[in-house]
Structure formats: structure tokens, C-alpha cells
Amino acid sequence: MYDYNLLKDIHQDILYIHSNKYDYKSIAGWKEKPIFSYNNLHNPLIKILSYAVSYIRVFILVLIYRPKNIHIQWFKIPQADYLYFRVLKKISRIRLIHTAHNVLPHNTGDKYKNIYHKLYHLCDDIIVHAPISKTEIVNLFRISPDKIHVIPHGLLKINVNQELYKEQLPLLQKKYLLDDKIVFASLGEQSLYKGIDVLAKAWLGTPLLRDNDHLRLLIIGKQNNIDSSTLGACKNVIIDNRRISNEEFLFLLRNTDLFLLPYRKISQSGALLTALTEHVPVLVNNIGGLAEPLQIANIGWAMNNLSEDNLKNALLNILKDAKILTKIKNDNESWKKIEEHYSWKRIGQSTLKLYLLNK
């Protein structure tokens, strides 16, 4: 979704190289090649071999097309990526642009700090999604601020089959029974860095949350190394440990009154930008770019730091006047400001300006 929305308004000669599992829309007339297939494999050795073969194919394409820029979104094997692009830059004199969606990979601590130091210095330009990420990279890796460009991540609209959505609607309404409830939700992959364990402690330790039948807490999505069994014992909590369809995700999002993002560490969140698309109020931890939308318009709340008490108090304060949730949902002027700031057209134009630098 990100790649498609970024490229659709950039009318230049671009070759888009991607995984063979790419399953989103295509742009009429664009050049694209499904090169990478390692994510279909399970054996680590064969996976690495597949990755290496894909990079050989990329090298051949560089020789054929002679691009001015190579823009890479993710480093899968950072040590190998560093060596590869270092050689490629010497041979082809390309300009290497990298989008640092996260300053360091999720849930890895400082494991990759040294190799990312080398990668960031190798890159000619780095795109980040929030000013705080730029500051972090400058301070952590001693990178010149001149080569770091803040370009927001655009809003993400869920791609659904409308007929299937309408067909499933009565079944989903019957399954979840969310009418006349105040719904708090964390949707999508559930992981430790998202602070779900802190949310569980805050909910279980607060009778006004735990025993309130007017509330529903949804923890819906594939769980990654977390245990939410104790939280699942609460009558007003629904936990579903599986990857859900886009249609079900959209139904749940449209029935959510407050989207919860008590993340420990993140640069920007696709889940946040999906929630904003559907005009859902948010509660975020003030890290990375999560609180940036709140500076643009009054569409939610931010905690200064993540703790059980802070999260509990934030939820209880919101519940003192729960009508504010409906008021925010219906505040069209505020959502218009959000949509303008995170416009893909504006983001595409900013990226194009970067592509055309020094040509």
C-alpha cells in the first residue's frame, strides 16, 4: 500500500522492484519486476541463497537501466545489504536513498546499531516520517542533518471487497455485539513493542475498566511472543489470536471509539495511519511520530510516557466524558486538516523533488 500510494503521483521513469508476494494494485504503464522470493521459503540457508540470487538480478538491471537513484525501503540482511550497496555505488555511481520507516528494526534493541551506523553513512539521502526520527538518527549515528529529509507517511486506506464486506456485515455484527458499547481496540499484529502487556496490567488492575459492561476491549490480530490469556478472562475483553481479513479489520475499525497505541518504541505506525483514515480517535504514547497528528488537529490524546498508571489514568479520564469520542469522530474540520497534511499527492511531490536533486 505504501509503495503504490507513494509512486502513483510520481510521473517519472521508475522501475519498481518488489517481492513476488506483492498483492496490491498496479499503476497502468509503470515498470515493475517481482524479483524477491525469499519470503516464500523456510530453510534459512535457501532463504539467504534466494536473496543473493535476487541481488544478482538487481545488479543486472542496474547495468541495463543505469539509474540515477536507487531507493530502498527495507534492509533484510543489513550486513549483506551494506556490502552489496557499497560495491554497487563504487561500480555504478548511483545515488542511494533509504526510507528509515524505523530508526532500528522492531524488537532488536541495539543489536543492529553498528551495522545501521554504516548503512546510514553509506546512504546519500535518508527519508524519515517525523522530525523526532531525524533528531534521533543525527544524535545516535552522527549523520549530517542535511541528508535527512522529513516526508510524512501518508494515510492508509484498507483495500476491501465491497460486496464481500456488505455480505459479511450482519455476521460480524452478530459475532462481536458492539452496539451500545464503548469500544477500545488494538488491531493488527500484537507484539511486545506495542505495549500490549502494559495495557493488560492497566485493564486487569482497574475495576472501573475490568468490570464495566458498557466497555469492550478488542485485542484482535496475530500475537507475536506475548501471552494475553489472563486478559482474555475478562468478560468485557475480546481476544482473537489470528490474522484477520481486510473486511473484518475495517468492520472493527469502524466500530472502534478509541484506537489504542501504547507503543514502547516506534518511528511511525501504519495502524495509526489506517485508524486516522476512518476518523477514529486515538490514544498514543508520545514517541516517534505517533503524537504528530495531535499537533495538527484535536483527534485524540497522548501520554508523556508509557506506564501502567499513565495508561489507566488516560483511559479513565476519557471515560469521564465519553461523549467526546463521538464529538471527535464527527469533527470534519479536524479530519480535513489531517487528510491535507498526510496527502499522498503532497508526499509524492516531496519524494520526486528528492529524486531530482543533483540530476
Sorted by where each starts, the structural domains of the chain and their CATH numbers stand as 2-154+343-356 (3.40.50.2000), 162-341 (3.40.50.2000)
**Residue type for position 117:** H
| Cell digits of residue 63 | 547495468
89 near 74, Cβ under 8 Å? no
Q: What is the mean pLDDT of residues 256-271?
A: 92
| Residues near 243 by beta carbon (within 8 Å), at least 6 away in sequence | 189, 221, 222
Per-residue confidence (pLDDT) for residue 125, from 0 to 100: 97
Per-residue pLDDT tens for 286-325? 988 899 999 999 999 999 999 999 999 999 999 999 999 9
Nearest to 257 by CA among 197, 215, 288, 286: 215
| Residues near 352 by beta carbon (within 8 Å), at least 6 away in sequence | 10, 12
Q: What is the model's pTM? A: 0.86
> Is 350's pLDDT higher than 90?
yes
Per-residue pLDDT tens for 173-213? 999 999 999 999 999 988 888 999 999 999 999 999 999 99
Q: What is the mean pLDDT of residues 129-149?
A: 94
Nearest to 71 by CA among 166, 19, 7: 7
Per-residue confidence (pLDDT) for residue 359, from 0 to 100: 53
- Taking the alpha carbons at both ends of the chain, their separation in whole angstroms is 28
Q: Taking every pair of C-alpha atoms in the chain, what is the biggest distance, in angstroms?
A: 65
Per-residue pLDDT tens for 153-172? 999 999 899 999 999 999 99
Using CA atoms, how far residue 176 sits from 110, 237, 318, 323, in Å, is 41, 11, 23, 22
Helix ranges (DSSP H) in 177-224:
196-204, 207-210
Confidence of residue 224 (pLDDT cuts 50, 70, 90): confident
Rounded Cα gap, residues 100 and 75, in angstroms: 10
